[in-house]
Structure 1
């Protein structure tokens, strides 16, 4: 999918949030939002669907060979460090 962009000189950076379900559920519960964008499903429903697709094998985590830079966040405390790395990459290109 990204080959076209890579051929045009773009680099790809993917930040994959691989957070535990309980962390995501807590964030959804405390967000104060009732729905996602303009669709009528709740954040809870979206999370449930995503987890079901993952557990059914319909979806897999991204692989390093798919992008130029892959960052995996397993803990919310890693966000700032990854953010700084992405900024550094963007400024260097």
Structure 2
């Protein structure tokens, strides 16, 4: 049986991390790969090493190390909790990191309304220690993500992009999606 690679797609505060943690509790032999945790670690202990602008090479290198270790030394299912909104990023993950000969690849697109997201960021208690650069609030991040949506590489996932695509349009969809993914692990 192939391992699962569940990759979340969505804007900040759309529920990706909460979903990933809930799925990890229900999906035996799985772990959450969360770059926000890596960013928080680096900003806490190695802030001076962080690049001031451009790609966060240090964070990406840490993530790559953890992924390579987990692929080689564990049999865990991967739950990748990041925004993954750029189609090129998803293609890289699906083709290079979680290839179809090793993994059953699942995209979970969190497509909640902007009204819900703005309410969530305004009431957010999440630590902002993951930020690098000019962002000081999650509202700043959401505004940037809305502007990025106009770019050509930012795109909602398509059917056929991975082995399975689930769309969460409403927070009430989460339990159903979790149940369906857990059932796929048993196939």
TM over 0.5: yes
Distance of 2:168 and 2:129 partners within structure 1:
22
The structure richer in helix per residue is: 1
Q: Which has the higher contact order (CA 8 A, sep 6+)?
A: 1
CA contact (8 A) 1:34 1:43 kept: no
Structure 1 vs Structure 2 CA RMSD: 1.9
Write the deviation string for residues 33-81 of structure 1: whole angstroms up to 9, x where unpaired: 2526243622111111111111344411011111001001111111111
TM-score, reference length from structure 1: 0.82
Q: Which runs of 5+ in 1 are unaligned?
A: none
Write out aligned runs for 1:1-93 (5 A): 1=92, 2-4=94-96, 5-7=99-101, 9-33=102-126, 35=128, 37-39=130-132, 41=135, 42-92=137-187
The structure richer in strand per residue is: 2
TM-score, reference length from structure 2: 0.44
Which segment drifts farther, 67-76 or 35-44? 35-44
Change (3 A) 1:57 1:3: closer
Provide runs of 4+ in structure 1 moved above 6 Å. none
Q: Which runs of 5+ in 2 are unaligned?
A: 1-91
